[in-house]
Chain A
Amino acid sequence: MGQIIVKKGKDSGRDMVVARLTERAKFLRRRGLAINSRTLHAGAALSSADIIAVLFYHTLRLDPLKPLWEDRDYFINSRGHGAEPIYVALADLGFFPSADLDRAEECGSHLHGLTSTTTPGIEFSCGSLGQGFSLGVGTALALRVLKRPGRVFVVTGDGECQEGALWESVMSAGHYKLDHLTLIIDRNGYQSNDRGTETVMSLEPLDEKFRAFGFAVQRLDGHNIEALVEAIESLPFQAGKPSAIVADTIKGKGVSFLESGHVHCGRFGRDFDGELLAKALQELDESN
Chain B
Amino acid sequence: MTKTRVSVRNTIERATAEIALGVPLTPFTELLIEYASRDPRVCYVGVDTMDVEFQRHFPSRAFDVGIAEQNQLGIATGLAKAGMVPVVQAWSPFTPLRNFDQLRTSLARHHSNVKIVTTALGLVNCSHGATHHDMESLALFRTVPGLVILAPFDGTQFEQAFRVAMDYVGPVVIMGPPEIYAPGRDGLDSLPIQNHPPFEIGKAEWLRHGNDACLITFGPALRYTWLGAERLSQGGLSVAVVNMCSLKPLDCDSILKAATEIQAVLSVEEQTVIGGLGSAVAEVIAESGVAVRFKRMGIPDQFVENVGDWTETREGIGLTASQVVRAVKELLA
A-side interface residues toward B, CB under 8 Å?
A: 70, 74, 117, 123-125, 127-128, 130-131, 133-146, 148, 150, 164-165, 168-169, 171-172, 176
B77 engages A135 (CB within 8 Å)? yes
For chain B, the count of residues having a C-beta within 8 Å of the partner chain is: 30
Residues A138 and B77 in contact in the complex (CB < 8 Å), given A131-B101, A131-B102, A145-B61: yes
> In the bound complex, what is the Cα–Cα distance between A171 and B66 (angstroms)?
10
> Provided the pairs A125-B109, A128-B105, A168-B65 are in contact, do residues A142 and B74 lie with their beta carbons within 8 angstroms?
no
Residue from A142, A143, A169 in contact with B71 in the complex, judged by beta carbons closer than 8 Å: A169
From B80-88, B210-218, B270-278, B317-325, give the one contacting chain A.
B80-88
The residue in chain B whose Cβ has the minimal distance to the Cβ of A128 is B105
Contact of B74 with A169 in the complex, beta carbons under 8 Å: yes
User: Which of B68, B79, B105 is within 8 Å of A168, CB to CB?
Assistant: B68
For A70, what are the chain B residues with a Cβ–Cβ distance below 8 Å? 83
Question: How far apart are B144's CB and chain A's nearest CB, in angstroms?
Answer: 14
The answer, yes or no, to whether B146 is at the interface (CB within 8 Å) is no
What's the Cα separation between A148 and B82 when bound, in Å? Answer: 10
Contact check, A134 vs B105: say whether CB atoms are below 8 A apart. no
State the CA gap A273–B194 with chains docked (Å). Answer: 70
Tell whether B254 is near chain A: CB-to-CB under 8 Å.
no
Q: Are A142 and B110 in contact (CB under 8 A)?
A: no
B141 at the interface (CB under 8 A from A): no
Q: Total A-B residue pairs with C-beta atoms closer than 8 Å?
A: 105
Please measure, in the bound complex, the distance between the C-alpha atom of A133 and the C-alpha atom of B83, giving whole angstroms. 18
Q: Which of B75, B81, B84 has the most CB of A within 10 A?
A: B75
Whether A137 pairs with B71 at a CB distance below 8 angstroms is: yes
Query: B65 touching A139 by the CB < 8 A rule?
Result: no
Is there contact, CB below 8 Å, between B75 and A169?
A: yes
What DSSP secondary structure best describes chain B's contact surface?
A: helix
Query: Which parts of B46-77 form the interface with A (CB within 8 Å)?
Result: 60-61, 63, 65-66, 68, 70-71, 73-77
Q: A139 contacts B101, CB within 8 Å?
A: no
Contacts of B76 in A (CB 8 A): 138
Residues of A close to B63: CB separation below 8 A: 141, 176
Q: What is the minimal beta-carbon distance from B268 to any residue of chain A, in angstroms?
A: 36
Provide 5 A-B residue pairs closer than 8 Å at the C-beta atoms, listed in order of the A residue. A125-B105, A128-B105, A135-B75, A139-B78, A169-B71
In the bound complex, CA of A144 to CA of B59 (Å): 13
On chain A, the residues within 8 Å of B60 by CB distance are 144-145
**Contact in complex: A138, B79 (CB < 8 Å):** yes
Inter-subunit contact B68/A139 (CB<8 Å): no
A70 (CB) vs chain B CBs: closest residue: B83
Q: Which residue of B lies closest to A134 (CB)?
A: B74
Binding site for A on B (CB under 8 A): 40-41, 43, 60-61, 63, 65-66, 68, 70-71, 73-84, 86, 101-102, 105-106, 109-110
Assembled-state Cα–Cα distance A118/B82 (Å): 18
Contact, CB under 8 Å: A134 / B70: yes
Q: How distant is the Cα of A145 from the Cα of B75 in the complex, in angstroms?
A: 14
Chain A: which residue is nearest B65 at the CB level? A172
Which of A127, A139, A144, A150 has the most chain B CB atoms inside 10 A of its CB? A139
Q: Chain A CB within 10 Å — which of B66, B78, B81, B102 has the most? A: B78
A133 nearest CB neighbor, chain B only: B74
A135 touches B71 (CB 8 A): no
State the Cβ distance, A14 to closest chain B Cβ, in Å: 32
Give the chain B neighbours of A131 by CB distance below 8 A.
70, 74, 101-102, 105-106
Distance, CA A37 to CA B77, complexed state (A): 29
* CA distance in complex: A125, B86 (Å): 20
Whether the pair A134, B77 counts as a contact (CB closer than 8 A) is yes
B70 with A168: CB separation less than 8 A: yes
Alpha-carbon gap, A134 to B47, bound state (A)? 14
Q: Which residue of A lies closest to B111 (CB)?
A: A117
- Smallest CB-CB separation from A130: which chain B residue? B70
A123 to B75: give the CA distance in the assembly, Å. 14
Contact for B75 among A117, A146, A172, CB less than 8 A: A172
* B61/A136 in contact, CB under 8 A: no
- In angstroms, how far is the closest chain B Cβ from the Cβ of A167? 9
Q: Compute how far the CA of A131 lies from the CA of B100 in the bound complex, rounded to whole angstroms.
A: 12
Give the residues in chain B near A136, CB-CB below 8 Å.
Answer: 78
Roughly how many angstroms separate A142 CA and B102 CA in the complex, as a whole number?
A: 18
Q: CB-nearest residue of chain A relative to B68? A: A168
Known: A128-B101, A168-B65. 10 other contacts (CB 8 A): A127-B105, A133-B74, A134-B77, A135-B81, A138-B74, A138-B79, A142-B81, A145-B84, A148-B82, A172-B71
Determine whether the beta carbon of A117 is less than 8 Å from that of B110.
Answer: yes
Complex: how many Å from CA A140 to CA B77?
A: 11
Q: How far is the CB of A67 from the nearest CB of chain B, in Å?
A: 13
In contact, B74 and A141 (Cβ under 8 angstroms): no
Which of B61, B82, B101, B105 is within 8 Å of A143, CB to CB?
B82
Bound CA span A165–B106, Å: 13
Contact of A139 (CB < 8 Å), options: B71, B73, B82, B109: B82
Set of chain B residues within 8 Å of A140, measured between Cβ atoms: 78
Least Cβ distance of B110 to chain A in Å?
Answer: 7
